[in-house]
Amino acid sequence: MSTRAVDVLRPSLVAALEAFAGRGRVLVALDFDGVLSPIVEVPSAARALPASAQALAELVRTTDVALVSGRDITDLAACAEPPPGVRLVGGHGTQSSLDAPGGGRRLDAAEQALLERLGEELDALVAAHPGTSVERKPMSAVLHTRAADRVVAVEATRAALAGPAALPGVHALRGKEVVELGAVPLGKGAGLLRLREALGAAGAPVEAVLFAGDDVTDEDAFAVLDPDAGDVTVKVGPGDTRAGHRVADPAEVAVLLTHLAALRRTP
């Protein structure tokens, strides 16, 4: 057992990791921003902490590993720079690296029209709220408020939720300094379950899943997992959560992953 893991992680989490590591085929799924990478003001500058990147490269030799993010999957790959073998789930569960090229969910004409309208309405909102910005994804449009004055950020969030988020057919997710408006249903929980099912269909069943996330958008992933069946849920940082365990920050995530990689390579 890693001395540092015992010193840093709560005893209940260390015990859960040991039980999880002792199972056969397991999946370790992780949000990226705020989990592997500290939160940064410029999203494209986010990178995994070196210790976490090293632990992932070790862990993927013995374990199924996935990154499950709200980011577009191409953007996720560019920032996360995952080692070979790590699967990616992007767009809040709407994109997967297991999809065939050109496969996966596609928008119909009505959904595409809705997505274009969402982008236009957020553009107008951003023009009236300095410091905010819009990100366009294949199936959603996102308001970012992290760089804005706090009063402006609150006003912009309120306007997005009262305006474009309330349009018929819109699926809204509110996260830390973001409001994401989807033209299709969004949710990391559904994406995680689809990934687990796809992995099992291609080989042995996945016996248990560990998921770590920091944002309110990660709560539906925590909700679909079952601790009584061996799943492990880890909240990163403060805030109310459904998760069964907690670590303080990405540095403690690196300790968790390093410890788990060592446990999984031990005969």
1 versus 199: the higher-pLDDT residue is 199
Task: Say how far apart CA 62 and CA 266 lie, in whole Å.
Answer: 10
Q: Are 43 and 54 in contact (CB under 8 A)?
A: no
- In this structure, what are the phi and psi dihedrals at residue 76, rounded to the nearest 5 degrees? -60, -45
Band (149; pLDDT cuts 50, 70, 90):
very high
Examine domains 3-93+188-265 and 109-182 and report if their fold is the same. no
Q: What is the pLDDT of residues 80-106, one digit of tens each?
A: 999 999 999 999 888 898 875 555 667
**Apex 176 CA angle, 197 and 135, nearest 5:** 80
Q: Are 71 and 138 in contact (CB under 8 A)?
A: no
142: nearest Cα among 115, 175, 174, 178: 178
119 versus 43: the higher-pLDDT residue is 119
Residue type, 244: G
Does 1 have pLDDT greater than 50?
no
- Residues, the chain, total? 267
The total of other beta-carbon atoms located within 10 Å of residue 151's CB is 9
Q: Are strands 26-30 and 64-68 parallel, antiparallel or unpaired?
A: parallel
174: nearest Cα among 193, 153, 194, 191: 153
Residue with tokens 């990791």: 17
Q: What is the pLDDT of residues 214-259, one digit of tens each?
A: 999 999 999 999 999 999 999 999 999 999 999 999 999 999 999 9
DSSP-based three-state secondary structure for 100: coil
pLDDT score recorded for residue 98: 83
The fold adopted by the segment(s) 3-93+188-265 is Rossmann fold (3.40.50)
pLDDT score recorded for residue 31: 98
Instruction: Find the catalytic residue in 7, 31, 72, 249.
Output: 31
Does 172 have pLDDT greater than 60?
yes
Task: Say how far apart CA 68 and CA 119 lie, in whole Å.
Answer: 24
Band (6; pLDDT cuts 50, 70, 90):
confident
Q: Where are the domains of the chain?
A: 3-93+188-265, 109-182
Angle, to 10 degrees, between the axis of helix 11-21 and the axis of helix 250-265?
A: 40
Does 157 have pLDDT greater than 80?
yes
Residue type, 222: F
DSSP-based three-state secondary structure for 36: coil
DSSP-based three-state secondary structure for 204: coil
The total of other beta-carbon atoms located within 10 Å of residue 127's CB is 10
Does 32 have pLDDT greater than 80?
yes
**Percent of the chain clearing pLDDT 70 (strictly above):** 96
Annotation marks residue 240 as catalytic: no
- Tell if the pTM clears 0.95, that is, is over it: no
Task: Say how far apart CA 67 and CA 33 lie, in whole Å.
Answer: 10
Q: Are 89 and 69 in contact (CB under 8 A)?
A: yes
pLDDT score recorded for residue 102: 54
Residue type, 68: V
Domain 109-182: give its CATH superfamily.
Answer: Trehalose-6-phosphate phosphatase related protein; domain 2 (3.30.70.1020)
Angle, to 10 degrees, between the axis of helix 109-127 and the axis of helix 150-162?
A: 150
Mean pLDDT of the chain: 93
* DSSP characters over 22-33: TSSSEEEEE-SB
Residue type, 167: L
